[in-house]
Structures are given as structure tokens and as C-alpha cells.
Amino acid sequence: MKIYLALLVLLFASVENGRASERPPLPVEKPAGSGVIVHRDGYVLTAHHVVANAKRITVVTSGEFRAPAVLVSVDAEHDLALLKVETVGLSEALLGYAGAVKLDQEVIAVGFQFGLREITITRGHVAAVRTKGVQRVFQVDAAVNPGNSGGPVFNRKGEVVGILTTKFTHPSGIVPEGMAFAVPISYATPLLANIPDFDFSAIGRGRRESAKGKGNGDLVTELTRTSVRIETLRMSEGPATVIQPAPMLPSSDPRRSAQPSVTHVPVPPARVPEPVPLAGDESIDRVNAQLLASQQEELKRLVDQGLTPPGEMVLIPAGEFLMGMEDGLPDARPIHRLYMSAYWIDRHGVTNGQYRACVEGGACLTPKVRDAFDDPQRTQWPVTNVTWSQARAYCQWVGKRLPTEAEWEKAARGIDGRRYPWGNSDEVIQKSRVTLTDGNSSNGVDPLGLPSVSASPYGVFGMIGMVSEWVKDWYAEDFYRTSPARDPQGPLRGTFRVLRGGSWVERPLELRASYRGWDEMTYWGPTLGFRCATDVP
């Protein structure tokens, strides 16, 4: 009987082995790109297109250690994605200031070219800063090949300043050499805010003290430890989805026991505590009444002194206001109190008609694109397609100047730290976008004289919802940490100039009065204009 049972067991085992041999092998992940470790607890930044439509994602760290990854958040617009692996104690990369990147600056591109296991490190330079609207990418001339996508671009200090994105596509179908592009690391800020204990104050601090004095070989070793290979198993069809992460392992550290925020929207809101409560409608109305009363009182005092108010300019009285926003991007933090002397600012942005007078007077160059400028039906529309230097030239021609960044923000939002000129509600933005399809608008730019829901508490129009506007200041991502408390003029030098405001087509975050845009002085675009300011004697 025992022999009979043993024979039956052997028979069934052989049948099962035969069936198993007939099963098709399980699909395996294939190399898709590269990434960089941005937090020791297993957070990896890469390009969105590297992991889009992925059924499974595997991150391969130094030493060929493989770990499954989940997608925490994505920003498809800027081609960025944040991944999480259940691994702690990883070597994390230092992050630098994208605003400090200069043309011809030496950079280091790191990645796994052609999906090979060996990491490749190439050196190159920033060849150009290219723009789309007011968004920008760095063009680098390092030797970049398939597999580099999603990999980091470091500066000479070993700080990540960009993430490699899709290469330039030429109409001929041939990819030109030296046409690799990197998304500035500053665009990753909303994604990094999903990391529970991410230290934004560490950005731009440079290499650790222990790394000082190390040779070039040590820098290369450090960069390779923070770079990873991304492998994916693609879905046969269907849109990319954000995968719900598995529960994190218990930890004695309450910060690490928190689950990362997972979102299905392109850009998740930054989870930053807000110490300054947002005012309600009743409080906003009360502050507006106080500001108008103060403005009228100051205006009467100046008139009594014999001063004639300049035409079509608004007086912004002297006093303190709150600048910045704690729940905004890092370059808008910390929120801080400034004292501003009194000044005048244009009630409206400079129009095509006003700018034409400067051109005909020989003091200004024509806009780079003249379609709207030459249209006789658009003389009262904001002038656009002008560079920072053209904006400054016009203001000087009329005896004025460009406003400082602080002057622009106070004129736009008042003194109480509200998000927008009208208050704190996003509803105004959604309603105003309807005008973009009714034929009265072009590229999100509206003619002056239309009723404006975005008027500031001082009576300044079009600071939000019209165009992005050049201001005087150089851009520095960390300027608010060292800003003077009285009449700040911005950094003494820089590479980019600050842009403020924006058209209704922008996202709500970019339409906040505290939002800081920036670009090269030579940039121009169809939604970029300016207004002028002047001192009160």
C-alpha cells in the first residue's frame, strides 16, 4: 500500500512539473531610464515619460540592489515624477539652485546610457536656456544618449540643478548632437513637498563639510551613489496611473511612519504648514476700506503740499506689508514683513499705443513679434513680446523706472498676506477663464478698460490675469532669507530677471501675487509685458 501511494505522489508531481514547463515565463522589467535619490528614505526623482504607462517599476541602486517602486506624484507638464522604494539609509543627492545656472556653465550628466548596467558620467556645458511660454529648460551639450532620460544634471559642486528630459526632435527625424535638455530642479518643488521630512532649507548649501577637499574621483563616486537605473514593465494599453503605495513599515520616528501623499493630478499642492491664517471675505473688505482711506489721506496730503499726481498712476502709501507665502514654493518663503516707502505705480500695464509713441520717438525698439503691436484694433491692449531691456528703456523714456519686486507685490496684494488681489478664493480664476473662448481675448491677454475682477486693493488693474510683467530685480531663489527689511532692491547681480503676474491660462499657484517667475533678460513672449513705477518726492 505504501509503495502504491508513493507511486501516485510521483505521478502527480511529474504532471505538475510538465504543466509548469508549459507556462510562459513571467514578463520582466526592461531598462527605461535613470533617476536620482533625493531623500535617504527611498525617494527617487526621474522624468515622467520614463515611468509613464508602467505596470511595474523597479529602481536599481548602486551595487545592483533592486527594489520595487511606487509612483508617489507626477508633474506631466514638466516631465517629472517622484518614486518611493521601501529602503532607508540611501545616499541622497544635494540639490542646488536652478536660478544660479549660467550660460556656458560646466555641468555633469549622469545616467545609464542604452540601458547598460555600467553608469556613464559625461561633462558638458549649458549651451542655452530655451523657453516655452514662461517655462524653461536648459540645453546641455554633454554626450547624452537613450537611457539618460530622468537622470540628474549636476553642477561642479555636486548639486543637482536639472533632470534630463526628452531629447530635441528635429523635423528631419534625426536627433542633432548636443541637443539634450534638462528640466530645472526648481520645478520639482511641489513633488518634493510630498516627502514628509524633506529639508528645503538645505537646497543650495553645497557639499557637506566632510566632502570638502576631496578630489575629482571622490566627487564622481559620490554622484554615482546617488544615481539609479529605472526599469519598467509597460502596460499594453491605457493611460498612466498613480499607483497606491504599500503601507510603510512601522518606525519609532513619527515622521517616517507617515504615508506619502499620492495624487492623480499633474502637480500636487505643497504640504507646508501655514502660520499666517488666510483672511475671510469680511476681513478682506475691512482691510480694503482701510487701505483706500489711507491712500486718499496720503494723496490729499501730497496735493496740499503742491504735488500734482502723475496721470494714470496709483499712489501706494508708505508702510509695512507681508511679502511671500508660506504655502508657496521655496523661493517665496519665508513670509516676511517689509517696510516700503511711498511710490507711484501705473494703474494699467503699458499698452501697444503707448509703446508705439516711444518707438516713433526713437527711444524704443519694436516688439520681437509685431502682429498685435501693428493691429490698429489693439492699441489699448498690453504691449507684449518685449525684453527686459526694452521694458526698462520705455520706463526711462517716460521719466519712470521698472518697479521692484517688493513694490509690485505690495501694489498687487495689499498688506495682509492674501493670495490674490481680490482675496484668497480660486473661484475668480475659474470664472475669468471663460473669457478666453468668447473672442475678446488673445493668448490670455485682454484689452484695457474692461471691468476687472482682479483689481488690487489700491485700485491697480491687470496685475493678475493679463500678462507676466518684468520687474527691476535680479532673481535669486534664496533672496528672502537675507532680504533687507526696508525697500529691498533685489540681489546685486544675477543671471535672470524676475517676472511677476500672469494671464488667466496659468495655474492658480502661478497667479498668486507672491509667485516669482524668472527668465533671461533677452527673453520675450506673447504673454509678457510690463508697467512702470516712480518715487514719491
pLDDT of residue 30: 87
pLDDT of residue 514: 96
Regarding whether 181 and 76 lie in a shared domain, the answer is yes
Regarding whether 377 and 314 lie in a shared domain, the answer is yes
pLDDT of residue 160: 94
3-state secondary structure of 113: helix
How many domains does the structure of the chain reveal?
2
Element (H, E) at 462: none
Cα 319 to Cα 340, 366, 411, 537: the distances in Å are 5, 38, 12, 16
**Looking at the domain assignment, is residue 25 inside a domain?**
no
Query: Which amino acid appears at position 280 of this protein?
Result: G
Regarding whether 303 and 227 lie in a shared domain, the answer is no
Regarding whether 46 and 177 lie in a shared domain, the answer is yes
Regarding whether 366 and 448 lie in a shared domain, the answer is yes
Identify the domain containing residue 75 by its residue range. Answer: 34-198+220-233
Weakly modelled stretches of the chain, pLDDT under 70: 1-27, 115, 130-135, 166-179, 206-217, 235-281, 434-452
End-to-end CA distance of the chain: 114
**Looking at the domain assignment, is residue 209 inside a domain?**
no
pLDDT of residue 319: 94
E strands in 47-200: 54-61, 65-75, 80-85, 94-95, 106-111, 120-132, 135-140, 152-154, 159-164, 180-184
3-state secondary structure of 80: strand
**3-class SS string, 126-160:** EEEEEEECCEEEEEECCCCCCCCCCCEEECCCCEE
Cα 186 to Cα 132, 135, 353: the distances in Å are 16, 11, 37
pLDDT of residue 142: 86
The answer, yes or no, to whether the previous bond of 268 is cis (omega within 30 of 0) is: no
Regarding whether 512 and 383 lie in a shared domain, the answer is yes
Q: How far apart are CA 287 and CA 292, in angstroms?
A: 9
Regarding whether 300 and 167 lie in a shared domain, the answer is no
Regarding whether 322 and 225 lie in a shared domain, the answer is no
* CATH code of the domain containing 145: 2.40.10.120
Regarding whether 431 and 314 lie in a shared domain, the answer is yes
Counting every residue written for the chain, the total comes to: 537
**Looking at the domain assignment, is residue 514 inside a domain?**
yes
Regarding whether 75 and 189 lie in a shared domain, the answer is yes
Regarding whether 296 and 192 lie in a shared domain, the answer is no
Q: How far apart are CA 314 and CA 361, in angstroms?
A: 26
* CATH code of the domain containing 287: 3.90.1580.10
Compute how many other C-beta atoms are within 10 angstroms of the C-beta atom of residue 285: 13
Regarding whether 227 and 316 lie in a shared domain, the answer is no
Query: Which amino acid appears at position 191 of this protein?
Result: L
| 26: exposed, middle or buried (Cβ count in 10 Å: 0-12, 13-18, 19+) | exposed
Q: Cell 511711498 belongs to which residue? A: 342
